Amino acid sequence: MSRRALVICCALVLAPVFAAAPAGATPPLPGERIAPAITAGGVDVSGLTIEEAAQRLSGAFGPRLAQNVIVQRADMTFRLTAKGAKVRFDTLTTAKRALYAGRDRPAPAVPGAPPAAIDVPLAVRHDQAVVRRFAARVRGRLHRPARDSQLRIGVRSVRVTHSKRGRTINAAALARRVGAALDDPRLTRVFRPALIRLRPRVNANQLRRRANTVITIQQSTFTLRLFKGLRVVKTYRVAVGQPSYPTPRGLFSIASKQVNPTWSVPNSPWAGELAGTTVVGGSAANPLRARWMGIVNGVGIHGTNQSGSIGTRASHGCIRMHVPDVIALYRRVPIGTPVLIR
């Protein structure tokens, strides 16, 4: 036994912290010895006084109980010291348990038969809160969250990133196993907890199906691109908002669709005498021709009878298209379609 382990064990013998005697039991008598066929943690203490038994137990288990707990996984090693876990081995209380167990053992049913063997538990304790924090720290270092596939949209290209599985461990199970090992020197103190694989919520195939249709609008070139299956299948020339009424920039989605839409006229000087009014769909005074695909805050994609405005900054923020183009686009674009405007 190392000097350090011996000092720890001996100190603990002088300060027992566990109840050993059954209620009403007579204290150990001077020179009283433990009955035959009695073990403590598997170590034979038969015929020994409690002081002799305590010394034997200290020699048998002290060094083992002073060893570190080691957790190894994913090329990482974690250590929990017995001192840090506040391990307490009360050898004197363990010896008394053996003495009282021998006293209370029933006599053999058959006269002359050997007494029944009894093994008493070791009086070992630790701070399980420390163990739980240790297990949580191990999990924190080993944990890798799953990575979902993501849709990366640029005005000229659309791609899907690959998902990646994550990993974690069952910290509660590890804490239970470590706690049991701290209390029982016969158990291993080296652990390799199972890695639990974490599945991503969204993989690339799911996202491709979900984002089969994408629209991008590049204001600098007045170009609307329609993507199907991550590939450009059609480009259209469009008009966008005037400098005073700019088309918003950002990632949005198609929020609504309407054939021959009603026009809720913006209450601004741009609308002239119609400002703040409502114009029914199909009316000659309604500039929203044929189809409407709403995006955000009253801004949408629509047809126009002002074909000369296509390729310019002419609208009140909306995206204008030639009427045949907007009708063709409308059929191919479901509600919820992502729309990137740059």
Q: How confident is the model over 294-334, as pLDDT tens digits?
A: 999 989 999 999 999 999 999 989 999 999 999 999 999 99
Token pair recorded at residue 58: 């200290």
Mean pLDDT, residues 156-180: 97
10 has catalytic annotation: no
pLDDT bin (cut points 50, 70, 90) of residue 270 is low
Q: What is the pLDDT of residue 264?
A: 76
Q: How many CB atoms lie within 10 A of CB 227?
A: 22
- pLDDT per residue over 56-71, tens digit each? 999 999 999 999 999 9
Q: Which of 126, 302, 316, 322 is catalytic?
A: 302
Centre a 10 Å sphere on the Cβ of residue 57 and count the other Cβ atoms it contains. 27
Q: Where are the domains of the chain?
A: 3-196, 212-341
**CB-based contact 92:53 (threshold 8 Å):** no
CB proximity list for 33: less than 8 A, separation 6 or greater: 47, 48, 49
Mean of all residue pLDDT scores within the chain: 91
Residue 7 predicted with pLDDT over 60: no
User: Annotated catalytic residue: which of 9, 126, 316, 318?
Assistant: 318
Please, which residues bridge with residue 153 across strands? 158
Helix, strand, coil percentages (3-state) for the chain, rounded to 5, are: 30, 30, 45
Q: State how far the Cα of 160 lies from the Cα of 166, in Å rounded to an integer.
A: 19
Instruction: Give the C-alpha separation, 153 to 322, whole Å.
Output: 25
Q: How far apart are CA 41 and CA 323, in angstroms?
A: 89
CA distances (Å), origin 294, targets 36, 158, 300, 334:
91, 22, 4, 11
Least-confidence region, from 83-97, 273-287, 304-318: 273-287
Q: Is 9 a catalytic residue?
A: no
Average pLDDT over residues 100-104: 92
Question: What's the burial of 75, exposed, middle or buried (CB within 10 Å: 0-12/13-18/19+)?
Answer: exposed
pLDDT bucket at 342, cuts 50 / 70 / 90: very high
Determine the topology of domain 212-341 in CATH: L,D-transpeptidase catalytic domain-like (2.40.440)
- Tens-place pLDDT, residues 9-34: 433 333 334 556 777 788 999 999 99
* CA distance between the termini of the chain: 74
